Structure 1
């Protein structure tokens, strides 16, 4: 580079930058100009040193070498898929292969002849009058459907004589080895691995069961018992069998019991001790994370815990209707509603009860008229499991 070229470069480097673009473009152009000036200065210094024949040991500068890139390329980052707080199912569900897909198959062998090592689910078909239409079926981890032939649980009933099927969500233990059926004045425990039955006398109209670690919570008419799974010893506990969530199977015996309940505008989440059911904390269920006008009006069905997340079916206010069917996922520490699955207005009331979580963070639920579906709140993906399943289902944890 001769003296004339050097003079031309120095002249360019000191030209003013005219603010002919908006603010964002101006900041970018000024940044490029500063980089060009640093680059030209470095070239000029090198020419002077070489032209003068000067050899010197230069002291390292505190600043890093100049960046000659005019428009740096930013490598794209890969983020975990995440969906918004309100999600909707697709118009047409896909049905990928699933072990539970055989849940609608007929039973081929009685339990007494072939006990299970582990049950994946229990199913009882119902007729159009919502009454049992055959024995309870047991889907084993070997894919074989069995019939429960060692006992026939009677329908549950309340003090007014209203009846309901004996099989309900929560009946099957999380490990898939036992089933517990609430009955009037007793609890029936069935060991599915040995096809044996125990009957534990308990007073009252009992309708619901919840497996809580090594105990079974069973209740109905304003009372709940905690029954030891091994000894059968029972004691009363101050917990609502209607509102308590099924604990995470990974939680220990002393993990808090979480209740959600209340009515529109006053939904509450209550934490109770595992031993006696003493209230530890109480807070409002809030929907600040949801876009207006979405809100949860009322819960129904069993709630299910998975880590610090609680899933439960609900009636919601959506952008279309007040009273739509939905599923809510709450932060079990704060009561904040993190996700809502908006199932719309064209479904039967109480259609879509939550049946539990899978081990990958998917919520399993009824989704009439499909049958069973799986929803991942973090990605928004929802897929079908079983088509046209008429009856009651209980899943292992």
Structure 2
């Protein structure tokens, strides 16, 4: 509607009904006038709304509503297949840092609700330097006074500390110590001891759902946690990977062993040890010249991933220390933590996974515990100055 039309409507709206016209014509004229006035009002309202909206757009309001625009989602970049450990570590606060504190109470006087870790202090000759320490989830460090586990011995008489990664149960309520001709079971929540007679030089322990697997070079026993009854199992504890506690009693047992091009991942039936499948360990995802040469120490499963310490070929040396994460189904090496060349041989055994999917490991010669997050590549310190052996709950 243009200006001329608007003027005509305003003129009509103010016209009076002539008295000389008949009533019918007057009513018709009055009806026409009311309709015109309504049209004028509608036009005026539209003009006001349009003008006001234009002003509102051009003039910012002091009471402008919140901006509801959604920021674009930024996906975190995946960590590279090889991560180098930093030269200097940061140490964020962590409950495990108290492992270095002296014990303040005996286990018999104050049993734990749940243990986070065990620590066996060692002297310079790698012999026990005091009782085993127990870090409870209450932050209190206790001494293991209800039993003193002896060092383990192999067939050649070589000794090692009784505390090893894997002796503490995944729930932190019990500990199992391999000994010559027996297995010692300690209920940390009741401070009680049970001894199970077995034959041979027993050196290693692996918790597997409702059983404890214990053995040495020539034999492995599966001990029922309820009855204590042992049975022999055809697996090697030197290659066996600790199962994921969430996997259940029928989950397959995984072994990883061999050297260089002969590295293999083998799946066995949980109850019988029968081989189900075998895959070659491959490193196609790693940049040249990186590769895994050999594994050592305890391996650990977490969901579909497997973590274990390894000697690796890096871009600096053949025989560097590292930690590898594998796909537990295919044997493919997905990631490697390169710990460099200036380490002790066999320095950095894996201690397990935490609840957030990070790998915890020892770090020598710094005598500390380190956390590596394979998903992000972040490496941070956990505990310093722990000259001894550490075992973590699963």
| Counterpart residue number, 2:141 | 145
TM-score (norm 2): 0.81
| Counterpart residue number, 2:207 | 211
1:373 aligns with 2:370: yes
SS at match of 2:241: coil
| Counterpart residue number, 1:163 | 159
1:1-397 map, 5 Å? 76-368=72-364, 369-397=366-394
Q: Output the CA distance in 2 between the equivalents of 1:249 and 1:318.
A: 33
Structure 2: state its 5+ residue gaps: 1-70
Q: Output the CA distance in 2 between the equivalents of 1:144 and 1:80.
A: 38
- Give the deviation of 1:222 after TM superposition: 1.3
Q: Quick check: 1:352–1:366 contact (8 Å CA) kept in 2?
A: yes
Runs of 4+ residues deviating >4 angstroms: none
SS at match of 1:95: coil
CA deviation profile, 1:265-286 (whole Å, cap 9, x unmatched): 1000000010011100001000
Q: Quick check: 1:81–1:378 contact (8 Å CA) kept in 2?
A: no
Q: Output the CA distance in 2 between the equivalents of 1:371 and 1:389.
A: 6
- Give the deviation of 1:147 after TM superposition: 0.4
Structure 1: state its 5+ residue gaps: 1-74
- Give the deviation of 1:290 after TM superposition: 0.4
SS at match of 2:200: coil
Q: CA RMSD in A?
A: 1.1
CA deviation profile, 1:74-107 (whole Å, cap 9, x unmatched): x854113411100011221111111101001000
Q: Output the CA distance in 2 between the equivalents of 1:227 and 1:364.
A: 27
Q: Quick check: 2:367–2:387 contact (8 Å CA) kept in 1?
A: no
Q: Quick check: 2:173–2:188 contact (8 Å CA) kept in 1?
A: yes
Q: Quick check: 1:131–1:165 contact (8 Å CA) kept in 2?
A: yes
SS at match of 1:78: coil
Q: Output the CA distance in 2 between the equivalents of 1:237 and 1:342.
A: 35
CA deviation profile, 1:172-192 (whole Å, cap 9, x unmatched): 000000000000000000000
Q: Output the CA distance in 2 between the equivalents of 1:289 and 1:77.
A: 27
SS at match of 1:204: strand
Decide which structure has the larger Cα Rg and report it: 2
| Counterpart residue number, 1:65 | none
Q: Quick check: 2:184–2:196 contact (8 Å CA) kept in 1?
A: yes
CA deviation profile, 1:319-373 (whole Å, cap 9, x unmatched): 0000000000000000000000000000110000000000000000001215001
Q: Quick check: 2:348–2:361 contact (8 Å CA) kept in 1?
A: yes
